[in-house]
Structure 1
Amino acid sequence: MPKTVVITGASDGTGAAAARRLVRDGHHVVVVGRSAAKTKAVADDLGVHYFVADFAHLHQVRTLAAQLADHCPRIDVLVNNAGAILGDRHVTADGFEETFQVNYLAPFLLTNLLLDTLLASQALVVQTSSNAARLSARVDLDDLDNARNYSPVRAYGNAKLELVLFTRELHDRYHEQGLSAVAFHPGGVSSNFARTSRSPVGSLFRTPVPRLFFQSPEKAARHLLRFVTPTPEDSVVSGAYYENGKPRTLKAPPIGPQLWEATTALLDLNKT
């Protein structure tokens, strides 16, 4: 049965590759990207609807949520795939450190604003995380904005670990109502990810190394698609974090509920 799938970060790389495969298989896809030109090009090529939102501006995320709720009476899968590793610490117009906002706050906001539709659809939320969540994360509830000891890699790892904690909380809070959620590490991908980053990772992605040693976006998309369109042999564990196609335990602090409440307060979601 065809599914309605919303994919953020779908103007390039893994998101675009996943969208192509899903459309080829007969599913209804909505692509979301930051670049109007690139997102439109992907959407036009696939014959699907698209929306544009820059997650560095939360008012655009709120507008996106309203557009999606109006356009999609049903959402079977929401893929929070958009993300970026940046450089020197930068505070957005919303007042948050940019890596924290783009990689965690924005998908948290989008998911919560779409929650009524997702619950009614008994949807799956898929979060594109990273092994940086276990390799370089030090989440501190008193320093979510990464004001102390900032580094681009740590800020990125923190945001990706926060996504994993968010995934667990979605499961704990809403799985009994039919909502499922997973987070996964797609592996190294030869794409435009991080090419514009002001960090050492960006310097790496501007060399031939990713093309030589990393997987193609099409191969990375298979890791994503196994959650969106699982085979009968696949067993998707809601609330889990996956690496290499298997659930992996992270040594994360048990702060999921506190992080949820802190994030809700930062975004004024109780007033929404």
Structure 2
Amino acid sequence: MMRKTIVITGASDGIGAAAARQLARQGHRVVAVGRSPSKTAAVAGHTGGEYVVADFAALDTVRNLAFQLLARCGVIDVLANNAGAMFGSRRQITEDGHERTFQVNYLAPFLLTQMLTDRLLESGGTVINTSSAANLFGRIDPDDLELEKRYRPFRAYAAAKLALILFTREFDRRYRLRGATSTTFHPGLVATNFLREHGVAPGAGHSPLRHLVLTPDKGARTLVYLAGAVPGQDYATGEYYRRCKVARPNRQARDGALGLGLWNRSVAMLES
């Protein structure tokens, strides 16, 4: 097995932490990225000690993260954009002027990937984006990307996870023939802190979803599989996976013109 250098964001907890530990046990070099210094350091204690702290709600910290990764990693075989969250009922604006759900789940990973693209091309690397089955309920409105008109927490989360799939397909279309690829996946309903706060987790009373909830170790299986396998050989790139198999995403996910338009709008947002 080839030893890979794997960067995992959102690695301080949940499936990111579980995947980091599993991949390190397989012999890979893992760089853990998380928002909590103490939690991320604790995970790194099990994965080789390498970690970087970054908060995706602040784009300057994402830029600093990219600079640190470029300085540390001469090769990046896998960039796993796993960080993400759903926020409260009130629409929140970050210091960068973006709706918080959109920025944390989509725009910040887009920025990080853009800044690392040359290194990924040099490395023949791959990008793995953590989406969600919530994408099936999402809708991308080019005239209201950040939901100024019809904000709801789940609507914002679903749209951001759909945007990640469109980004995945467009990245793979642009760079596959040059050696860099991209894939996305749904980890399942995983027992995270968010679910526990909402009473949906193993043993959470009488929640009707409690029997469907996976442990972080089980939720990380598809990420671990994609990170360890050979893109384009062991699995098809540019696709959306569930349980290590290609699944069908939202209809908008296959709209190439929409994906290109979203890419160009995202670049413009980050340059303004």
Using the size of structure 2 for normalisation, the TM-score is 0.91
Given that residues 190 and 211 in structure 1 are in contact (C-alpha distance below 8 angstroms), is that contact kept between their aligned partners in structure 2?
A: no
For the residues of structure 2 that align with 1:132 and 1:53, how far apart are their CA atoms?
25
Tell me the residue number matched to 2:97.
Answer: 95
Secondary structure, counterpart of 1:65 in structure 2:
helix
Structure 2 counterpart of 1:132: 134
| Structure 2 gap ranges (5+) | none
Which string of whole-angstrom CA distances, capped at 9 and with x for unpartnered residues, describes residues 146-196 of structure 1? 11111100100000000000000001110010111100000011122455x
Q: CA deviation at 1:259?
A: 0.4
Deviation of 1:204 after TM superposition, in Å, equals 3.6
- Does the 8 Å contact 2:30/2:48 carry over to 1? no
Contact 1:13 1:193 in 2 (8 A): no
Counterpart in the other structure of 2:198? 203
Deviation beyond 3 Å, 4+ runs, structure 1: 204-207, 209-213
Matched, 1:262 2:243: no
CA distance in 2, matches of 1:174, 1:249: 23
Deviations 1:45-103 (A, max 9, x none): 33321000000000000000000000001000000000001112100110000000000
Query: 1:261 is matched by which residue type in structure 2?
Result: N
Question: For 1:167 and 1:99, how far apart are their aligned partners in 2?
Answer: 18
Change (3 A) 1:62 1:27: same
Letter of the structure 1 residue corresponding to residue 260 of structure 2: P
Shift of 1:25: 1.1
SS in 2 for 1:55: coil
Report SS of the residue matched to 1:9: coil
C-alpha separation between the residues in 2 aligned to 1:175 and 1:48?
32
Provide the C-alpha distance between the structure 1 equivalents of 2:120 and 2:171, rounded to a whole number of angstroms. 11
CA distance in 1, matches of 2:55, 2:200: 22
Quote how far apart the aligned CAs of 1:222 are: 1.0
Q: What corresponds to 1:114 in structure 2?
A: 116
Q: Name 1:147's counterpart in structure 2.
A: 148
Per the alignment, residue 242 of structure 2 pairs with 243
SS in 2 for 1:156: helix
Unaligned runs of at least 5 residues, structure 1 = 196-201
Q: How many residues align?
A: 261
Alpha-carbon contact 2:188-2:219 (below 8 Å) kept: yes
* In structure 1, distance between residues paired with 2:5 and 2:144: 37
Mapped pair 1:188 → 2:189: yes
Cα deviation for residue 142 of structure 1 reads 1.0
Paired residue type of 1:262: R
Mapped to 2, the partners of 1:247 and 1:23 lie a distance apart of 26
Cα separation, 2, equivalents of 1:45 and 1:242: 27
- Cα shift at 1:32: 0.2
CA offset at residue 44 of structure 1? 2.0
What's the CA shift for 1:219?
A: 0.8
* Distance in 1 (alpha carbons) for counterparts of 2:36 and 2:200: 19
Which amino acid in structure 2 is aligned with residue 226 of structure 1?
Y
1:228 is the counterpart of 2:230: no
Query: Counterpart of 1:21?
Result: 22
How far did 1:231 drift? Answer: 8.1
1:128 offset after TM fit, Å?
0.3
CA deviation vs aligned residue, 1:98-157 (integer Å, no higher than 9, x gap)? 0000000000000000111010001010000001111x2111111111111111001000
CA distance in 1 between counterparts of 2:71 and 2:169 reads 28
Q: Return the TM-score normalized by structure 1.
A: 0.91
Q: Provide the C-alpha distance between the structure 2 equivalents of 1:231 and 1:146, rounded to a whole number of angstroms.
A: 37
